[in-house]
Structure 1
Amino acid sequence: MNSRKSKITILFLLITFGISIFVLVIFYRASIERKLPKLQTSDVNTAIRGNIVTKDGFSISSSQKLYKVMLDTRNIDPNKKEMFIKLYSLYSGDDPNKVRKIINGTKGLVTLSYSIDAKGATYLQELSRKLNRKGILISYLDPKTGLASFQGMRVMESGQNRKFMSKDALTPAIGYVSKTESDALTKSKGVKGLERYYEDYLAPIQNAKILGPRDIGNNIILTSDSNLATRVDGYNAVLSVPLKFQTKLEQILDEKREFLDAKELIICIMNSKNGEILALASSSRYDPSNIRKQDYSALNSSASEYAYEVGSVFKPFIFSILLQEKKVNPFELVNTYNGRYQLGKRIIKDTHPEPFMSAEDIIVHSSNIGMIQLVERLNGPQIYQGLLNFGFSRKTGIDLPYEQVGMMPTVTKLNSSTYKATVSYGYGLQATFMQLLKAYNTFNNKGIEVTPHMVAYLERNGKRYDLPKAEPAQVISQETAKIMKRILIKTVEKGTGLKAFTPGLEIGGKTGTAHIASGKGGYSNTYNGSFFGFVNDTRGNSYTIGVLARDPKKPYYYFGAQSALPTFKKAVDLMVEDGYLFPDPNVIAEFEAKKDKLKNDKVKQKPALD
């Protein structure tokens, strides 16, 4: 009996011991497997930020992937270290001394390079395979596991870099980006300009995820089941602006700014029918890839972010309201007091003094006194609502961020004769360059407003995506627009805009000169000069153009006719030269014939010489 119990006890102990050994083996195997290199590996192919592309096909803002190279220095065969350094430096372009210092400085995982481009990454991945085959990279014994460990040289994405191909071209409108860190990768985010406004469209949408068995170099072996998610890049923003034309215009502005000794010159050329911007240029530009301290003042887009008192370019809007309210006949005579008029304690003077002028000639010859007489026919609500309809004190909708809206006097103030008077010739309120351009466009578009925009459409993988458009609004009647257009054409042919005249083209517009507010409740001895107008040809091409010269310091050149108008004329000539406008050859022939006849008549009138 005891013998039987002893046998059972021994058997039980043996079974218990066997089970314990089995459990220990399983546990050991499980722990070892966690330390062994995995047979499968995964990778992420990050999506890229979309490009900004000009009308003529130049990617002026684009992103490129950057890669980093990581290596466990213990994987380098000690006898072939110098061979590794030589080959790596040759493929990467890095300084051999720098590579040697990194390798010798750390025993373990190191990063050899951070900013390798895609082409360089491909070369280095090929080098990694060669290093494995030639035994330059070998496995080492991991003291923690007692097993051989081989990581190889790994080439991994480190982030993306934003490149601006054309340096300062199209700035500040194009804007710039900042670098952000996400999931250990460097990415770009729009801060200003188009980069900021279209951030939600340009930003990458979805990264690709790849899973598969690994090779000895820890690279993924692609199979039919490798792709877990498809890469979806950001949209490309395609501009209505051709780069070649834009840069020529910027060169004109640079020359004019230097000649005028001005703070800045701005010009915008917009399609009058649909609001597409052909060019938006400034003489204050910067390189978005290398922003310096002296560039800070140029980072804001003055066209949409600078509100100022605009001067006489504002007169046509008050005149339009008078026409809308049937308060003026363009041909009636208005007392202009021989160019001298007392308004409260101030004496108002006209540059072209006359005892009387027709109402439309008040615009043609820019009479402040005439405007003071006419604006008295309107009350505060009529002025306020009329200007509101033109878009003043409201955003234009241009596709640039941080747009300012300016300032208009209240209805109560506009009932005051003094406020009416100052507003009638462009003081006592503030507007932006883009507000003026959009408002002037109504005169050349049958009274209908358009929304100025630089991006024509979005594109991805060859497919076009149109952006939503604002519903056009009738700002003034077609009849009022027709009258104003005729008056502004007359202003160019016979008035203050004479320097813009170009035979064979229909050009209208208005000059303006305004004191710059000092910020202390008064005005400094500095000025802004401007010209806003339009140009049409007989082929149906129609453009609205604005020019602003900020604080020109050249003596006697602060008037809009001397500072802004010549730039307008240069721009029109460039548009003809580059095929955006086509002067009527018959009109040119007639003009030349008249000029020759006038010249011959003068020759005939000369007295004969003895």
Structure 2
Amino acid sequence: GVELQYNDVLSGETGIVEVLRDGKGNQLSSFGRIIHNPVRGKDIYLTIDEKIQQIVEEEMEKCWEMYNPRKMSVIVIDPKTGEILAMANKPDYDPNQPGKFPAEWRRNHAVTDLFEPGSIFKIVTAAAVLEEKKVHPDEIFNCEGGKWFIRGHILHDAHPYGPLDFRHIIIKSSNIGTVKLALRIGEQTLYNYIKRFHFGELTGIDLPGEIRGILRPVEKWSDYSITAVPIGQEVGVTCLQAIRAISVFANGGYLIQPHIIKKIDPPDPSNVYSFTSSEQVISTDTVTTLNSILARVVSEEGTANQARISGYTICGKTGTAQKFENGSYSHTKFVASFIGFLPLEDPKLAILVNVDEPKGAYYGGVVAAPVFKEIAWRTMQYFQIPPKTSSVAMGKIENNENKRTD
């Protein structure tokens, strides 16, 4: 991808020499005139950290063998600078023999493919309602026992919840509760906040093939869309867009510019590669409130119990999205996702794990969260950031194997 994007920068310019040849085509060494000197290509330095990339690929392989999914993507990013520290996809291919592999395998799925985000999108809905001051964290909502008839359709929760406060709507990932939150602000306001996060737009990453995603304008929403969009249906996002969204909560409310080029040497004054962004999309108050909730998602009571690591405060959100096929949502094909960042006190990395059509288990909290956990743990050790407590012995991670959910 990088070589394709920056081929002109890497290749430089070919030199031209005028020579004379005899009747047999042999070059006459006594004559040679340089028409144009060759220009050496520039060196490009990537933001990719070789060690973190190795960790990601190793942990992806374990998940791949366990769940045999259709495809899988992982991104690790510095949520403050936008530097991509690792990015990998499966199935993968040998770059030295690309012709031996299907074209689909050679795509960077993290930037070229769309998926309906499902419950990871609830962070946007929750942020919007908080920003508009339409809810208090202690406010109770009736989640209808997990089944709610609204606008001609039945909306389900994965589990039958009754009354839940705002916090637990997110902690338990209630679809019904989230839609009731969205109804407080309405279609246009919700859409405006989704646009604040720049969904439906290119991130501008310095890689080829990026797509915008799908976000229909409100005038093209159906009457039922307000019950679907808030929970991550009827929208299409890339993995890169999703990890940029969670990074907003890790850096105080700012939208970062993801990038994979660290520097180009020697620099070219005619091309300035700037990746800073100062666009604040949500307030620090909203960030603080929602992060306290996202930290409880990654706890014994939350859907991301299996992402917990003793001694580190992790914020995150699970997603288990039914795939839309042949005009309806499948009951057998899912996309399991987890996005999160750590440590809460001073976030060093955000991680996205996206697993398309895992076999057997399919909840994001079961399939994707453990991959996050292993990558996060190993990267913290690599960064030499110790846990806050002494409860971790020799790198052992809490065993939450039997926990489940969205």
- TM norm structure 1: 0.59
Tell me which residue corresponds to 2:214: 407
Q: In structure 2, what is the equivalent of residue 429 of structure 1?
A: 235
Give, as a single letter, the amino acid of the residue that structure 2 aligns with 1:588.
Answer: T
What does 1:451-490 correspond to in 2, within 5 Å? Answer: 451-460=257-266, 467-490=273-296
Once residues 537 and 369 of structure 1 are traced to their aligned partners in structure 2, the CA distance between those partners, rounded to angstroms, is 28
Matched, 1:395 2:198: no
Change in Cα spacing, 1:453 to 1:350, as seen in structure 2 (3 Å) is: same
Query: Deviations 1:552-597 (Å, cap 9, x if unpaired)?
Result: 12x2x111111111110111122033x225133xx322678xxxxx
1:296 to partner: Cα distance: 1.8
Are the aligned partners of 1:379 and 1:415 in contact in 2 as well (CA < 8 Å)?
no
> 1:459 offset after TM fit, Å?
1.7
AA matched with 1:194: V
Native 8 Å contact 1:504 1:537 kept in 2: no
The answer to whether the 8 Å contact 2:257/2:277 transfers is: no
> What is the alpha-carbon distance in structure 2 between the residues aligned to residue 590 and residue 551 of structure 1?
35
- Alignment of 1:349 onto 2:185: no
Q: Distance in 2 between matches of 1:415 and 1:329?
A: 29
Q: Structure 2-normalised TM-score?
A: 0.87
* Distance verdict in 2 for CA 1:195–1:591, change over 3 Å: closer
Distance in 2 (CA, whole Å) between partners of 1:407 and 1:545 is: 22
**Per-residue displacement from partner, 1:72-124 (whole Å, max 9, x unpaired)?**
xxxxxxxxxxxxxxxxxxxxxxxxxxxxxxxxxxxxxxxxxxxxxxxxxxxxx
- Conserved 8 A contact 1:515-1:523: yes
- Residue of structure 1 in register with 2:399 after alignment: none
Q: In structure 2, what is the equivalent of residue 271 of structure 1?
A: 78
User: Given that residues 240 and 277 in structure 1 are in contact (C-alpha distance below 8 angstroms), is that contact kept between their aligned partners in structure 2?
Assistant: yes
Call closer, same or farther: CA 1:354–1:401 in 2, change over 3 Å. Answer: same
Secondary structure of residue in 2 paired with 1:377 = helix
Which digits, 9 at most, give the CA deviation of each residue in 1:174-215, with x for residues without a partner?
Answer: xxxxxxxxxxxxxxxxxxx2122223322323526477999x
Bigger radius of gyration: 1
| 1:302 to 2:109 alignment | yes
Contact kept, 8 Å, 1:457 with 1:466, in 2: the verdict is no
The answer for unaligned runs of 5 or more in structure 2 is 394-406
- The partner residue of 2:298 within 459, 468, 492 is 492
Q: Does 1:583 align with 2:386?
A: yes
Amino acid at match of 2:232: G
* Residue matched to 1:560: 364
Cα separation, partners in 2 of 1:212 and 1:320, compared to 1, 3 Å: same
**Structure 1 residues 142-157: aligned runs within 5 Å:** none
Letter in 2 for 1:574: R
CA contact (8 A) 1:211 1:228 kept: no
For structure 1, the 5+ residue unaligned runs are 1-192, 593-610
AA paired with 2:305? L
1:572 and 2:376 matched: yes
Distance of aligned partners of 1:438 and 1:219 in 2 relative to their CA distance in 1, 3 Å threshold: farther
Give 1:444 shift: 0.6
**Alignment-derived partner of residue 440 in structure 1:** 246
Find out whether 1:251 has 2:58 as its counterpart.
Answer: yes
Query: How do 1:102-251 and structure 2 match up within 5 A?
Result: 193-207=1-15, 209=17, 218=27, 220=29, 229-251=36-58
**Compared with structure 1, are the counterparts of its residues 229 and 294 closer, same or farther at alpha carbon in structure 2 (3 Å cutoff)?**
closer
Kindly report the root-mean-square deviation, in angstroms, between the aligned alpha carbons of the 2 structures: 2.6
> For the residues of structure 1 that align with 2:149 and 2:207, how far apart are their CA atoms?
43
Correspondence 1:330-409 to 2 at 5 A: 330-409=137-216
Aligned position for 1:40: none
User: Could you give the per-residue CA deviations for residues 406-445 of structure 1, whole angstroms, max 9, x where no partner exists?
Assistant: 11232135583x2111111111111111111111110111
Deviation at 1:242, TM superposition (A): 2.6
Give the equivalent residue in structure 1 for 2:226.
Answer: 420
Structure whose residues are more often helix by fraction = 1
CA distance in 1 between counterparts of 2:129 and 2:160 reads 23
Deviation at 1:364, TM superposition (A): 0.6
Task: Tell me if the contact between 1:211 and 1:226 (Cα under 8 Å) persists in the aligned partners.
Answer: yes
Where does residue 353 of structure 2 map in the other structure? 547
Q: SS where residue 295 of structure 2 aligns?
A: helix
List per-residue Cα deviations over 1:332-388 (Å, max 9, x = no partner). 111112222223444333234332111121001100111121111112221111101
| Cα distance change, pair 537–429 in 1 and its aligned pair in 2 (3 A) | closer
Equivalent positions of 1:506-545 (< 5 A) are 506-518=313-325, 520-524=326-330, 525-536=332-343, 540=346, 542-545=348-351
SS in 1 for 2:353: strand
- CA distance in structure 2 between the aligned counterparts of 1:244 and 1:316, rounded to whole angstroms: 30
Secondary structure class of the residue paired with 1:378: helix
Across the two proteins, how many residue pairs are aligned to each other?
386
